[in-house]
Structure 1
Amino acid sequence: MPAPRTVLLTGAAGGLGTLMRDLLPDYGYALRLLDVRPVEGADAITADLADQDAVREAVRGVDAIIHLAGISLEARFEKILRANIEGTYHLYEAARQEGVGRIVFASSNHAVGYTPRPQGGTPLDPSAPIPVDTPRRPDTFYGLSKCFGEDLAQLYWDKHGLETVSVRIGSCFPETTSVRMLSVWMSPADGARLFHAALTAEHVGHTVVHGSSANTRLWWDLGTARALGYEPQDDSEPWAEKLIAEQGELDPDNEAHARLGGHFVTDPPIWPD
């Protein structure tokens, strides 16, 4: 499909949002920026996703949405409910009301965080990658909210014809900082490539893809992402020798190393006060 001209970027003040603010205009997009925190931009809106009127106003007139807003770490369920679950619903309902045709939803590896990682996944010890249709196994309330977002996207496609690409993001940072991240890292440049592919591919319905670079130690299958036209160009391997020397190889007997979600699996739960 032709590239949408105006794209609403929610969570524009966050880490990933800041990276995409710099990279996506190179693909020809005019970005409308939305965040609960003020962000500089010619078309920037400061609003909370809890404010349904403000969300609908932000959505009005855009061609597509990249939804990055919300809490990106574990938190009390009440906070996750308000920001990630109710907020995502408000966005989808506003998109339906305003006739927006496509959303790119930032899902997460933590929607399947309890999935055992491939025990190989290195150049010398390959093993089968995790498929995109692996059963969801959230590792936190945060991961649970991403499962909800994927199901909400499916509902709005089936019921209202609103298309979504749900991107299960690994770790999107300028460089890799842990041995685990070597297998799930997505460079910012590849992130922009993937979001662009998700915005422009034909007939996506609701498609779930894994979001990472073409890492030598990749744990999961990028087939559905590549089917959108995504061609990752980066690899975390240049950081491997240094990180392994500092941190050691992953220990399969350590639950945080043995599961896709890493320390999210083993961190103490965040209970309501």
Structure 2
Amino acid sequence: MAKCNRILLTGAAGALGTLLRKEIAHMATTLRVSDKADLGSASANEEVVQCDVSDAAAVMEMTRDVDMIIHMGGVSREGSWESVLQSNIVGFYNVYEGARKNGVKRVIWASSNHAIGFYPREQVIDASVTPRPDTNYGVSKVFGEGIAQYYWDKYGVESVSIRIGSCFPEPVDRRMLTTWLSYPDLVHLTERCIMSPRVAHTVIYGVSNNDEKLWDNWMAAHIGFHPKDNAEIFRAKLEASTPEPDPKSPFIAAHGGAFASMPHFDD
């Protein structure tokens, strides 16, 4: 795919949005960055738009004249139903309505491993499995994947739903030896999602080339994602600094880790 005229990056004030803001700017003539938080001054090829995605009219305006959307906005962890509803469900619908009505070709967005968080650790899964969300947050990501499929099937808006594992500069606990996605691998994955000629609606697991694996990306081979980093180089450090967990502990027994054993947030 040729260089885009304009890419919209939402959630650009968050950790991953801040990273992508710097790393993907070269892939568009203009990078439009958005968040409800302050984004500072625009860089050379940037447009800065402050916007809350729950505001339908603002999102409709924000998505005008855009070739592609990278949607990293919304609630990024478990929260009350109301907060998840407004950011990840109402806001997500607004983004897709903006894409449909403004002729945006593709949406690349941050889904999550918490959409399938109740699968047992012993089971390696691919993108064809039935969702098993582990929280309000996980339910919102299942909704998002449903919207992405619907807008592809009915309206021809392409999407890549990235089920992000644990994206940090380095893994911070033993669970992340399996789920870690390095920053360079996230950038590579995003670039491949932008450049791939045709994606329809693709679900892909955002995970580095770790020795321990829970997820198989064979169904997304057309994206051309070939992660290079491996959490194994941090094993000795983590084993020296953290206790060995009980294999039956809820923290590691399910794909979603501790999310799978959280009490209902609104209780």
2:112 alignment partner in structure 1? 108
2:121 alignment partner in structure 1? 117
- Give distance in 1, aligned partners of 2:213 and 2:244: 15
2:88 alignment partner in structure 1? 84
2:61 alignment partner in structure 1? 57
| Structural mapping, 1:174-189, within 5 Å | 174-189=169-184
Distance 1:132 1:251, change over 3 A: farther
After superposition, the C-alpha distances for 1:117-137 in whole angstroms (9 at most, x for unaligned) are: 13xxxxxxxxx7322222210
1:15 alignment partner in structure 2? 15
| Structural mapping, 1:196-215, within 5 Å | 196-215=191-210
Contact 1:140 1:265 in 2 (8 A): yes
1:192 aligns with 2:192: no
Shift of 1:226: 3.6
Shift of 1:233: 1.3
Shift of 1:108: 0.1
After superposition, the C-alpha distances for 1:23-53 in whole angstroms (9 at most, x for unaligned) are: 1124456321010111022411111112212
- Give distance in 1, aligned partners of 2:106 and 2:241: 43
1:262 alignment partner in structure 2? 257
Contact 1:66 1:103 in 2 (8 A): yes
- Give distance in 1, aligned partners of 2:28 and 2:229: 22
Contact 2:7 2:69 in 1 (8 A): yes
Shift of 1:251: 2.6
Shift of 1:2: 2.5
Shift of 1:21: 1.1
Distance 1:224 1:29, change over 3 A: farther
The residue identity in structure 2 corresponding to 1:57 is: E
1:93 aligns with 2:88: no
| Structural mapping, 1:123-272, within 5 Å | 129-271=124-266
- Give distance in 2, aligned partners of 1:197 and 1:3: 12
Contact 2:117 2:255 in 1 (8 A): yes
1:8 aligned counterpart, secondary structure: strand
Shift of 1:224: 3.4
2:24 aligned counterpart, secondary structure: helix
Q: TM-score, normalised by structure 2?
A: 0.94
Distance 1:209 1:29, change over 3 A: farther
The residue identity in structure 1 corresponding to 2:115 is: A
- Give distance in 1, aligned partners of 2:206 and 2:150: 22
The residue identity in structure 1 corresponding to 2:130 is: P
Larger deviation, residues 140-149 vs 73-82: 73-82
1:5 aligns with 2:5: yes
1:123 alignment partner in structure 2? none
- Give distance in 2, aligned partners of 1:34 and 1:78: 22
- Give distance in 2, aligned partners of 1:176 and 1:26: 28
After superposition, the C-alpha distances for 1:207-226 in whole angstroms (9 at most, x for unaligned) are: 10100111112221132344
- Give distance in 1, aligned partners of 2:264 and 2:77: 12
Q: Structure 1 stretches of 5 or more lacking a match? A: 119-127
Shift of 1:250: 4.1
Shift of 1:231: 1.5
Distance 1:220 1:81, change over 3 A: same
After superposition, the C-alpha distances for 1:36-82 in whole angstroms (9 at most, x for unaligned) are: 11102241111111221211111111110011101011111011111
2:30 alignment partner in structure 1? 30
Pairwise CA RMSD: 1.5
Distance 1:32 1:169, change over 3 A: same
Deviant stretches of 4+, over 6 Å: none
